[in-house]
C-alpha cells in the first residue's frame, strides 16, 4: 500500500477514536447513568455546598443560603448541563474530564433526574386542615410549626418520625435552627423558599427555641 494511503488510514482511525470519546459529552439527550454513583460523586466533589444535598439550590446570594441554582427534580437539558460543568459561567469552578469523566456526568445527571417531584402544598392534607383564620391570637411561629413541623416532630416538639425538638435551645440558637430549616438534611423536606418565606422561617425558629 502506498505510504500516503497508510498514513491517511491511520489518521482516519485516530480521528474516529477521538470523536468517539467525545460523543457522550456532545449528546443532547441524557445517556444512561447510575443515580446512586452520581449521588456519591455529587457529594465527594462538593457540589452540595452550593446546590444543597439533593440539588435543590436557591440561587440566592444571601448569607446562609445555597448560591447555586436549583438542579432537581427537573434538571436542565443535558447538553446545557454538560456545557455548564465543563465551561461554567459565573463563580462555579470548571470540571474537566480528569476530574469527572463523561460517564460521571451522566451518573450525576441521573441522580438529579431520579429526585421525586416536589409536592404541591395544596395537596398535603395536614396543611389544608389548618385554619390560619382562627389562629389570630397564636404566635405566627406556632402556626407555622403546627402546619409544617408537628407531623414529624410532635405537636409539642416531643418527637416522632423526626427527632425531638424540646430543649433545642440548649445547643442551637435561632439562627442555627433557621439555617437548618432552609437547608435541611436529606430526610427532611425542603420547605423554603417554596412554602415558607424568610419571615416564616424566623418565626418558627424562634418558636422552636421556646420548646422545653
Quote the pTM value: 0.50
Give me the architecture of the 28-113 domain, per CATH.
Orthogonal Bundle (1.10)
Length in residues, the chain:
212
Question: How does pLDDT run along the chain (212 residues), one tens digit per residue?
Answer: 444 444 444 444 444 444 444 444 456 788 999 999 999 999 999 898 888 888 887 776 666 566 788 898 889 999 999 999 999 987 789 999 999 999 999 999 999 999 988 776 666 666 665 555 444 567 899 999 988 898 889 899 998 888 999 998 998 899 989 998 999 887 788 889 888 999 999 999 999 999 99
Domains 28-113 and 121-208 in one fold: yes
Cβ-contact 148, 196 below 8 angstroms: yes
User: Which CATH fold topology does 121-208 show?
Assistant: Cytochrome Bc1 Complex; Chain D, domain 2 (1.10.760)
DSSP 8: H
Domain boundaries, the chain: 28-113, 121-208
> In sequence order, which residues have a C-beta less than 8 Å from that of residue 33 and are 6 or more positions away?
103, 106, 107, 108, 109, 110, 111
Mind giving me the DSSP string for the chain?
--HHHHHHHHHHHHHHHHHHHTHHHH-SSPPP--HHHHHHHHHHTTTHHHH-TTSB-----STTS--SPB-SSSPPPHHHHHHHHHS--TTPPP--TTTS-HHHHHHHHHHHHTSPPPPPGGG-HHHHT--GGG-TTS-HHHHHHHHHTHHHH-TTS--SSSPP-TTGGGT--HHHHHHHHHS--TTS---TTTT--HHHHHHHHHHHTT--
Amino acid at each position: 500500500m502506498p505510504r500516503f494511503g497508510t498514513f491517511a488510514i491511520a489518521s482516519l482511525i485516530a480521528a474516529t477514536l477521538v470523536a468517539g470519546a467525545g460523543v457522550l459529552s456532545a449528546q443532547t439527550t441524557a445517556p444512561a447513568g447510575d443515580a446512586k454513583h452520581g449521588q456519591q460523586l455529587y457529594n465527594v466533589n462538593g457540589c452540595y455546598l452550593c446546590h444543597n444535598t439533593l440539588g435543590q439550590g436557591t440561587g440566592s446570594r444571601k448569607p446562609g443560603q445555597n448560591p447555586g441554582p436549583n438542579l432537581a427534580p427537573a434538571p436542565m437539558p443535558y447538553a446545557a448541563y454538560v456545557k455548564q460543568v465543563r465551561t461554567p459561567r459565573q463563580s462555579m469552578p470548571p470540571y474537566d474530564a480528569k476530574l469527572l469523566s463523561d460517564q460521571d456526568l451522566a451518573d450525576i445527571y441521573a441522580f438529579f433526574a431520579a429526585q421525586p417531584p416536589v409536592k404541591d402544598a395544596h395537596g398535603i392534607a395536614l396543611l389544608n386542615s389548618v385554619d390560619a383564620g382562627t389562629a389570630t391570637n397564636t404566635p405566627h411561629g406556632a402556626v407555622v410549626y403546627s402546619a409544617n413541623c408537628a407531623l414529624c416532630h410532635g405537636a409539642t416538639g416531643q418527637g416522632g418520625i423526626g427527632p425531638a425538638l424540646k430543649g433545642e435551645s440548649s445547643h442551637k440558637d435561632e439562627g442555627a435552627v433557621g439555617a437548618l430549616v432552609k437547608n435541611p438534611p436529606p430526610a427532611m423536606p425542603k420547605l423554603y423558599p417554596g412554602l415558607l418565606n424568610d419571615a416564616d422561617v424566623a418565626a418558627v425558629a424562634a418558636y422552636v427555641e421556646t420548646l422545653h
